Chain A
Amino acid sequence: DAGITQSPRHKVTETGTPVTLRCHQTENHRYMYWYRQDPGHGLRLIHYSYGVKDTDKGEVSDGYSVSRSKTEDFLLTLESATSSQTSVYFCAISNDRGEKNTIYFGEGSWLTVV
C-alpha cells in the first residue's frame, strides 16, 4: 500500500466553522491531490499540488484552500464549512510518467457539516 495517511478520518462540524484535513505521505511523491466523492458525481478534483508551495485549483475549488509547505504534507481547509461540503474527501499522490504513471489514494475522510 502507498504510504498515505489522512486525518481526521471522521469529523462532524457545525456550519460556519473552519475545518482542516491533513494528508501525509511517506513516498516523496511530487504530485498531491484532494478530491471529493459524492453520489452520482464520481470523484471531483478540488485542488492539487505539483511541488512545495506550488498549488492550483480543480473543478470544485470554491470554499476550499490548500497549503503545501513540505513535500510530505498537503492540507485542505474549508474556510467556513457549509452543508454542501458534507462529503468524503480523498487525498491522492503520484509521481510522473512511465511505470510511475499511477495515482494512489488514501482511505478517505468522512466530513459531516450540520
Chain B
Amino acid sequence: GDSVTQMEGPVTLSEEAFLTINCTYTATGYPSLFWYVQYPGEGLQLLLKATKADDKGSNKGFEATYRKETTSFHLEKGSVQVSDSAVYFCALRGDTGRRALTFGSGTRLQVQP
C-alpha cells in the first residue's frame, strides 16, 4: 500500500538558517503530494502541494518539488523564522480508490532566535 517516510525530528535551527525536511513516498499510479503544517493546539493547515511530476509547490517561502524518479518531495526554506516553529507533515493522496491522505509521522521544527 501507499506509505510516506519523513525524517525524524526534532530539527533545531537558528533563525535565518536553511531548512530541509526530507520526505520520500511509495505509491502506485500518480499520487498528489502535500505538505501540511500544525501549530501547537491547532489543526492541520495546507502549506503547499504538487499534483504531477516535476511540479514545484510553494507558499510563504517554503517550496518542494515532486521528483518521481527519486520518489521524493523534500521541503525547503531559505531562511527560517521563529514563527516557523511547528510540526510539518508530508502526505500523499492516491489518484484512485478512497482518495484519502496517507501521512508521514511528522517532523517537529524548533527555530531559536
- Check if B101 sits within 8 Å of A92, measured CB to CB: yes
Verify if A74 is at the interface (C-beta below 8 Å from B).
Answer: no
Task: State the Cβ distance, B29 to closest chain A Cβ, in Å.
Answer: 13
Verify if A70 is at the interface (C-beta below 8 Å from B).
Answer: no
- Check if B99 sits within 8 Å of A96, measured CB to CB: yes
- Check if A107 sits within 8 Å of B43, measured CB to CB: yes
Task: State the Cβ distance, A102 to closest chain B Cβ, in Å.
Answer: 6
- Check if A101 sits within 8 Å of B51, measured CB to CB: yes
Chain A positions within 8 Å of B106 at CB level: 42
CB-contact partner of B49 in A48, A90, A102, under 8 A: A102
Task: State the Cβ distance, B73 to closest chain A Cβ, in Å.
Answer: 15
Question: What is the total number of residues of chain B having a CB less than 8 Å from a CB of chain A?
Answer: 23
- Check if A108 sits within 8 Å of B100, measured CB to CB: no
- Check if B99 sits within 8 Å of A50, measured CB to CB: yes
Give A96 to B43 CA distance when docked, in angstroms: 21
Task: State the Cβ distance, B63 to closest chain A Cβ, in Å.
Answer: 17
> Contacts A48-B100, A94-B99, A103-B101 given: A43-B46 contact, CB under 8 Å?
no
Verify if A56 is at the interface (C-beta below 8 Å from B).
Answer: yes
Give A50 to B97 CA distance when docked, in angstroms: 10
CB-CB nearest in chain B for A92: B101
CB-CB nearest in chain A for B6: A42
Chain B positions within 8 Å of A43 at CB level: 44, 89, 101, 103
- Restricting to B26-49, which residues have a CB under 8 Å from any CB of A? 32, 34, 36, 42-46, 49
Verify if B98 is at the interface (C-beta below 8 Å from A).
Answer: yes
- Restricting to A1-60, which residues have a CB under 8 Å from any CB of B? 31, 33, 40-45, 48, 50, 56, 58
Give A99 to B51 CA distance when docked, in angstroms: 9
Chain A positions within 8 Å of B105 at CB level: 40-42
Q: Point out residues on B near A: beta carbons under 8 Å.
A: 4, 32, 34, 36, 42-46, 49, 51, 89, 93, 95, 98-106
